Chain A
């Protein structure tokens, strides 16, 4: 970058110097040649005067002088190289009384002067070019210093310093939009890294307590000789603890996978109603166990574009939550409909106890549990977080409405399929 700018400046300056030098030499050439020609004519005059003195007739002398002094009818002017490296200037003119006269004068002086001039112009040009080169480099360095500083500050940024920003105001105006975009990028990366850091911190936090339980239980068991039955009981405790940890680890793995891009997965055009019915069939066994009825409500076709595995996980997650929190005898209503031309909506509604308003804004956060009891095994507070992650990856979203005592509705928005035109049936 620096080099390119320096070269540009250098070439510009150099071209200017060459043009100026050439012009100067050209002007000098014409001026000096005219002077030379005048010298030649002066010489002619002198010769005329001398020849008069030598004995030419006065009339003749006068005529010649007048001829030369007045605008002579010059027919040819040329430089002639003489043997021996000499050069002469020769002017041929037509005499008024007829015939031609040719006068020559040595052009050595003229040549010498022009050559000296050319040499000094060339020398000056080279010198000026060299200076231009140094100047250009210096100028480029000065002009690009903020850019270098920016590069240095970018080089210092790593994942632990994503809160740093490029000082856009110090950059040349042309570069400011780029700095602005870079700062926005840093902002987005910062948010993403912070989310990931939080998730990891939360996950390790979630793992610490069961690990502590395992270690403590086994350490105490090993402190003294125990009966086989007591040891079996301890092992049983450890096993259930380890199983709980397995659930957690699997959920973490699922989360890591769900964050991946949807691009390399197969997005399909499917019917949301069909998907909903399949999921409801799967959820029925759980519902029967809890004496809950699952009511399906799908009208017409609801074409959507989604990753089947992800969407199934979303719907099953919401359904099993709804069934779990419903009292015996209650109904869980699941529906699919075209929301508008670009999106479809899948809703899961229960008549359970609802979610308290203070918990509502947090339920999609990882490891958030409305009840702080860790007793309910398998409830890690990751289910709804996964729902959100899956939907985000597919360009959808999930919202929740809940009234304590009246029940909860989860509304999933998912892009409609472009291949099939929604028939608007609701």
Chain B
């Protein structure tokens, strides 16, 4: 899941980015409002974390532009002001959630995860595909009741496929959602991770869940 963090306080920005990366998110970071807006146009983010006070363009303005162009990306606003009118303003402009500094890291994480889920139309933190069960809150995976241990990347890939269950997902899309700007890899790496996932999830089972659509991409589904 790829997230844009727009925050101009260097330490805070760096810590949020590091923390999210450790949780398996791909994170792009910017300290500038205009740049943040450009990035949202260039990349398909699963969630935006926007500080209200940003140089060159504030969080409200980014939000407004985003919603004007019809982008439905979930947005979590970060602000140092907790006046009620600020919250109302944020929610009116189309923010999906609102967090006042200083916040607890667990809260930010939980909210980002919830927003990502909601962005993909999932309400429950547990995603079920056939007998495969993915708990996006605890980041645990079970198949037929047996826990499966996945690496961070593998888990991120599986979660993304699960969010788009039954739909063909291209290699490029996967790459866009799993890797941030700083990654020097190419989309071929996706095939490698699909291979790892198949070994851990499908190899020991009769019913295969990960399917290849030649020339199109991959599908996670129990009905094929």
Contact = CB atoms under 8 A, between A and B. Distances in A.
15 contacts: A206-B80, A208-B102, A209-B12, A210-B9, A214-B11, A215-B105, A216-B16, A220-B22, A220-B105, A237-B14, A371-B55, A372-B8, A372-B53, A375-B8, A375-B31
- For the complex, would chain A's binding face be called helix, strand, loop or mixed by DSSP majority? helix
Interface of B: 8-12, 14-16, 18-19, 22, 31, 53-56, 78, 80-81, 100-106, 108
B11 A237 contact: yes
B22 A223 contact: yes
Interface in A223-245: 223-224, 237-238, 240-241
Nearest to A205: B80
A376 to B, nearest CB: 11
B19 A374 contact: no
Given A213-B15, A374-B8, A208 B101 contact: yes
| Contact-size category for A | 20 to 34
A252 B33 CA distance: 29
Contacts of B16: 216
Contacts of B31: 373, 375
A155 interface: no
A213 B12 contact: yes
B18 A220 contact: yes
Contacts of A59: none
B10 A219 contact: no
B19 A372 contact: no
Interface in A64-105: none
B164 to A, nearest CB: 29
Contacts of A373: 8, 31, 55
B34 to A, nearest CB: 12
A215 to B, nearest CB: 5
A201 B81 CA distance: 9
A240 B101 CA distance: 19
Nearest to A211: B102
A267 interface: no
A372 B22 CA distance: 30
Contacts of A372: 8, 53-56
From A208, A209, A374, residue with most partner B Cβ within 10 Å = A209
A319 to B, nearest CB: 27
Contact of B12 (A205, A206, A212, A371): A212
B137 to A, nearest CB: 15
Nearest to B56: A372
Nearest to A373: B55
Nearest to B54: A372
Contacts of A216: 12, 15-16, 19, 102-103, 105, 108
Nearest to B23: A223
A215 B11 contact: no
B118 to A, nearest CB: 23
A194 to B, nearest CB: 15
B10 A217 contact: no
Contacts of B10: 374-375
Given A372-B56, A373-B31, A375-B10, 17 more contacts: A208-B102, A209-B80, A211-B102, A212-B80, A212-B102, A214-B102, A215-B102, A217-B14, A217-B15, A220-B18, A220-B22, A223-B19, A223-B105, A237-B11, A241-B11, A372-B55, A373-B8
